[in-house]
Structure 1
Amino acid sequence: MISFFSRTREATSLAVQWSSPKPIRWRIVCAWLSFYNALLAAWNDEYRIAALIKLMYHLAAREDGVSAVYEAKSRLVNEYLQTEIGFGRYQIQLFLLTGLGWAADNIWLQGVAIILPQIQKELNPSRVEFTTLSLYVGLILGATTWGVLADLVGRKLSFNITLFIAGVFGVAAGGSNNFTTLGALVACLGFGALFLEHVPRSHQWLLTLLSGWWALGQLLASLVAWPLIGNFSCEDASFCPKDSNMGWRYTFYTLGGVTLVMWIMRYVVFDLQESSKYLIARGRDEEALEVLQRIAAKNGKTLTLTLSQLQSVSGTVPTSQSSKLSTAQILVKAVSSFSFSHVTPLFSTRRLAINTTLTILIWGLIGLAYPLFNGFITLYLTTQVKDSDGSVSTTYRNYSIISVLGVPGSVIACLVVDWTRKNPGKFSLGGRKLTMAISTALTGIFLYLFTTSTTNAAVLGYSCASGLTQNAMYGVLYAYTPEVFPAPHRGTGDALCSAFNRITGILAPAIKIVTTNADGSASSGTANGPIFVSATLFIVASVLMLLLPIETAGKAAL
């Protein structure tokens, strides 16, 4: 009898833990299972455990849009990542390689913005802004394609092929006479998804630090362009022929070569593993365990998790038959089974639907706000101050300084992003939502102040301040977004956010076209129009961030 009541308390505690965020009907079921578990306890411990696991996890799907079996396995993997595998050599190398992807992403975003004045002089298009427009069309295709494929065929393939495409076509674009196809060459922004899934809970703040690579990508692009465009372009001429305007081509050759080197490093220097959680979601438990064992060995650790333990969660029986599939088989199976099954779970409950909708909307607002200022920042730096010399060298020098100041933004975000509120009833800094809301609001304020600048020092100062807060904002947002989506649908969730971000970004060159002449000239009030819109959108986005119902600080990603 003592054993009966002891096990009743044990099971009831477990049921309350699992059922606390659930509707009342789920709590009733959990209470019934607690009593059922206690009865079984006096009969057979082994049968009790198996029956409880099967009933608890097969009875209903979770509110966060994942299957009950997947959640159980994911929590088991998270526990072993935290306690046995830990943070070691593999995660450090993965951080570096993922960072290279983020850097490459911004290299091409900033690279296109940097060369616009030279394209105007050489190719003389009717509107040079159409170059940015074509870029964003390609970004939409890349964001949706690679994000969805990450959930269908795995993170590893999508993770590697994007850099190769960007590098090859980036070099090719340097020798072309138009940039219509350039938009299709930029990889999607989903590089943090894979990194997240093999990082223990205690080190998931490194996702925020990844945004430092974004700033490094911008810095690299500006440092490459500064000497090349400055020395191989026409300073004042309205028309600059190809022979005298090779600077932007040399810039693209260099950036394309750097991107290809990054891609080679992923194969030669580092043995990238597939996401174990992706494999679990696809029912490939044996391969998932092999991945975890290789990661543990890389870190010099021993993994005690067995296949029988992993499969006992779903009640399946281990089999000696290998379930490995070739890349071709994976592609065929993925295409044949494609559906919206990865989209609907993101809206499966009211709470998750609200959070998903707000997250996508936030990405959309920032997708328009960011390029409205940063996509044409070289023009603003040149025209904001009337007595500025406007030289190429001065413009790219200031641009490089702004890029340097973006790196500390990631560090600052890392310091506060995992602070949780010890007393929910009192206001305190910390957490994902509040950190990114404050940094986003500050970005809008600094952009408003930028429009009032009349000196070189003020223009540079407010630009640096906004660069710092923008990078902090992006760092937290990039960490929050994949964390809030469960791994089976994480790539799709990221794809929806990234696609909407790019779709709204298309409006940025349209607004720029409306507010400026074809030669880029505009009155002072009109020229500040895009900046006012950008600042307002940042402020609105910060308010929506505070309304997000889900906080992920201090929690392990599923």
Structure 2
Amino acid sequence: MGDGSPEYTVDEALVAMGFGKFQILVLAYAGMGWVSEAMEMMLLSFVGPAVQSAWGLSSQQESFITSVVFAGMLVGAYSWGIVSDKHGRRKGFLITATITSGAGFLSALSPNYTSLILLRCLVGVGLGGGPVLSSWFLEFIPAPNRGTWMVVFSAFWTLGTILEASLAWFVMPTLGWRWLLGLSSLPSSLLLVFYWLAPESPRYLCLKGRTTEAINILERVARLNGTKLPSGNLVSDLKIELSEKSTLSEDARLISPTENEDTSSKEMDSSDMGGISSLSMLLSPKLVRSTLLLWVVFFGNAFSYYGLVLLTTELTNGHSKCTPDTLRSDKLQDTGYRDVFIASFAELPGLLISAATVDRLGRKLSMSAMFFLCCIFLLPLVIQQSQGLTTSLLFGARICITATFTIVYIYAPEIYPTSVRTTGVGVASAMGRIGGMICPLVAVGLVHGCHQTASILLFEIVIFLSGVCVLLFPFETKGRELSDTVSSNSNNQGQ
């Protein structure tokens, strides 16, 4: 800065102020968005069979109700990441909440299959903005507490799955699937009601040069937490990096006056230049390995998680015995609400395992161990088992995959700099949506076709490869400060 005043970054300010009332309010708001997404995803396992029975749909048409949501999420996850990196986190989740709540409610009024498909696809587009909320919350957490509080944040997903399973259990037998769709759209509406209270990320503001606005928000954090900001001037990692480079050698600066600023200025402007530039930054030499491995892990996680949710209804409803389609309508009275409700509680121990290991063993070891343990739980299902044993094995597998899902959503935002953080997580999440689109065809199609062994073996391969990819990640992020630029991000890898 040149005036001799001390300097501090957003990370240093957050550590000085600690985790307090302000972060609790941010957690509550972001958590409501996570509840909304979980409920909208969980209802797919209930609505599909009900709509198939009511409208006489084929198995392929039923699967398409689920796949089209993931298709929408594929578009939304990429789009909203770019929007939030360019225009701010708040605008990102305002648009997504509006689309999700509106399309979710209107889908309950769908007069035919085509309109239902179109509206559920729009819901998917809105749900694709989920990573924006997780990145937004992450940017308010002090580095030493990040792993633990991101696990707490993930607990809202589990809360959403349990709420949806409970709601379906009580609503579906009496009021039907339309009421379930309508009531499930309420949580996303709450995001709009309380939107005016949500602050912009100070890290994002600082990176964009809006330091005064960032300081105002940090002062609100300090007031609510009963602490004080560090003394001195707030700066971003980018400015510190440029300052360090400019003081290394006056001669070098005279010889090549723009060389020191070239890379960093490109990083700062990447999100302003559109999605292609942001994507090229993710595939730059310093990030390409992490990005490609993360895409595979997100694909495997989504494929496995949503596959296990659907398998819970399919393998415990007589389909594991290849019940003929003519008898299927008679079994719709028992669509597995109880088993899905029980399996949803598997996410609680999954969260506890995440909380216990993520800051002790680190992100990589915790994730890989859970992937490999999930393979062990699923292995006996290559042959048909009793309903009780099937439910127990799926319960154990759900614990493991919940833990990996929780930890990857902690790890992913940590490996990217602020300039492309939500774009990076959004694109990775989009890759996961491809897994979500494919898994209904496997979980439903293969099991209906009496190919349970092939279905389970495919899950085993995907989950095992995901675990291997986790081991290949280039660095651990436990205890690491978030970075603002690719250069500072790569410098931190050696720490």
TM-score by length of 2: 0.82
Q: Does 1:264 align with 2:197?
A: no
Give 2:317's aligned residue.
382
Q: Which of 363, 378, 382 in structure 1 is aligned with 2:298?
A: 363
Give 2:27's aligned residue.
95
Look up the equivalent residue of 1:183 and give its one-letter code. C
Higher helix share: 2
Give 2:97's aligned residue.
163
Q: Which of 474, 478, 491 in structure 2 is aligned with 1:549?
A: 474
Give 2:217's aligned residue.
291
Look up the equivalent residue of 1:354 and give its one-letter code. R
Conservation of the 8 A alpha-carbon contact between 1:369 and 1:533 = no
Shift of 1:433: 0.3
- 1:223-243 CA-to-partner distances (Å, cap 9, x unmatched) read 1111221234xxxxxxxxxxx
Q: Distance in 2 between matches of 1:382 and 1:437?
A: 31
Q: Distance in 2 between matches of 1:132 and 1:383?
A: 21
Q: Which of 228, 233, 236 in structure 2 is aligned with 1:302?
A: 228
Look up the equivalent residue of 1:415 and give its one-letter code. A
Q: Does 1:209 align with 2:152?
A: yes
Q: Does 1:183 align with 2:121?
A: yes
Q: Distance in 1 between matches of 2:234 and 2:340?
A: 56
* Match runs of 1:465-476 below 5 Å: 465-476=396-407
Distance 1:549 1:387, change over 3 A: closer
Distance 1:115 1:551, change over 3 A: same
* Match runs of 1:263-342 below 5 Å: 263-267=192-196, 271-307=197-233, 313=240, 337-342=273-278
Give 1:344's aligned residue.
280
Give 2:491's aligned residue.
none
Look up the equivalent residue of 1:550 and give its one-letter code. F
Structure 2 residue runs of 5 or longer lacking an equivalent are: 244-268, 324-329, 484-495
Q: Does 1:105 align with 2:34?
A: no
Conservation of the 8 A alpha-carbon contact between 2:378 and 2:393 = yes
SS at match of 1:552: coil
- 1:531-556 CA-to-partner distances (Å, cap 9, x unmatched) read 32122211110011011111001112
Distance 1:92 1:48, change over 3 A: closer
Conservation of the 8 A alpha-carbon contact between 2:282 and 2:424 = yes
Shift of 1:387: 12
Q: Distance in 2 between matches of 1:201 and 1:174?
A: 42
Q: Which of 528, 534, 539 in structure 1 is aligned with 2:459?
A: 534
* Match runs of 1:44-83 below 5 Å: 76-83=9-16
- 1:483-539 CA-to-partner distances (Å, cap 9, x unmatched) read 1111111011012101111123322234457536xxxx432xx13432321222111
Shift of 1:145: 1.2
Conservation of the 8 A alpha-carbon contact between 2:278 and 2:423 = yes
Shift of 1:166: 1.3
Distance 1:412 1:504, change over 3 A: closer
Q: Which of 394, 404, 407 in structure 1 is aligned with 2:345?
A: 404
Structure 1 residue runs of 5 or longer lacking an equivalent are: 1-45, 54-72, 233-246, 316-332, 420-429
Give 1:228's aligned residue.
171
Conservation of the 8 A alpha-carbon contact between 1:228 and 1:251 = yes
Q: Distance in 2 between matches of 1:160 and 1:403?
A: 29
Shift of 1:404: 1.4
Look up the equivalent residue of 2:449 and give its one-letter code. A
Q: Which of 382, 385, 391 in structure 2 is aligned with 1:460?
A: 391
Look up the equivalent residue of 1:192 and give its one-letter code. S
Shift of 1:254: 1.1
Identity %: 25
Shift of 1:416: 1.2
Conservation of the 8 A alpha-carbon contact between 1:440 and 1:469 = yes
Q: Distance in 1 between matches of 2:214 and 2:434?
A: 35
Q: Distance in 2 between matches of 1:171 and 1:294?
A: 35
Q: Which of 163, 172, 176 in structure 1 is aligned with 2:106?
A: 172
Conservation of the 8 A alpha-carbon contact between 1:137 and 1:184 = no
Q: Which has the higher contact order (CA 8 A, sep 6+)?
A: 2
Distance 1:100 1:510, change over 3 A: same
Deviates more, 1:296-305 or 1:132-141: 296-305
Deviates more, 1:507-516 or 1:361-370: 507-516
Give 1:125's aligned residue.
57
Conservation of the 8 A alpha-carbon contact between 2:306 and 2:436 = yes
Q: Distance in 2 between matches of 1:456 and 1:116?
A: 22
Give 2:381's aligned residue.
450
Q: Does 1:86 align with 2:22?
A: no
Q: Distance in 2 between matches of 1:334 and 1:309?
A: 19
Q: Which of 283, 288, 294 in structure 2 is aligned with 1:353?
A: 288
Q: Distance in 1 between matches of 2:2 and 2:427?
A: 43
- 1:187-243 CA-to-partner distances (Å, cap 9, x unmatched) read 1230210011110012102112322221221111111111221234xxxxxxxxxxx
Q: Distance in 2 between matches of 1:296 and 1:545?
A: 37
Shift of 1:336: 7.6
TM-score by length of 1: 0.73
Deviates more, 1:88-97 or 1:359-368: 359-368
Shift of 1:384: 5.5
Look up the equivalent residue of 2:11 and give its one-letter code. N
Q: Which of 138, 143, 147 in structure 1 is aligned with 2:72?
A: 138
Q: Does 1:255 align with 2:178?
A: no
